[in-house]
Amino acid sequence: MKIYLLRHAKAQPGFPDCGRQLAPEGRIHARKLGEFLKQTGRFEPGEIWCSPLVRAQQTLELVLDSLGLSLPVREQELLEPEMDPAQFLPQFDFVTKDLLVVGHNPNLETLASLLLGAERQRVRVHMKTCTMLCLDYDPVPNFGHTGTCELLWMFDPRLLDGESPDALT
């Protein structure tokens, strides 16, 4: 099974945090990501989990629209920015289809690091806005809930703009 982790696209500043809308640049990047994924012909999530915050919902909507996909979405409060991603790990044991997870930092970076086997306090993955990771989930019995994934790829839609990798940091 594949787990796709997608950080929401760039949002406008504002308060309250839960109501922040995507910035125009974020909308462009979300559409470009969806268009790129459609061209690959290999992105076929069977299930979607998304943070209830507006910017994550808008990112997902734009990506799915660009892909021409319509799938049911399960809102996950555990994907909100201040939640503990370790609490989220046991839910992966019940998923049987490729899964798209849309959320926020710092917890998406922490979740990715936990799934890849890193220590919780030493995040080893940096995800800018609208970056997607593709992980291969293959839990080993009695191994626990960390280190159950292998990183297959990571993509930032700003690469489609011709920006150099140095400009992406």
Residue 163 has pLDDT above 70, yes or no: no
Average pLDDT, the chain: 88
DSSP strand E in 73-165: where? 73-75, 99-103, 132-137, 149-155
Give the model's pLDDT for residue 23.
Answer: 97
Domain boundaries, the chain: 2-162
Tell me the CATH class for 2-162. Answer: alpha beta
Kindly state the average pLDDT of the residues 63-68. Answer: 94
Residue 148 has pLDDT above 90, yes or no: no
pTM for this prediction: 0.90
- How many CB atoms are closer than 10 A to CB 127? 22
Give the model's pLDDT for residue 142.
Answer: 47
What are all long-range contacts of 120-124, with beta carbons under 8 Å and residues at least 24 apart?
120/86
Distance of CA 7 to the CA centre of its chain: 4
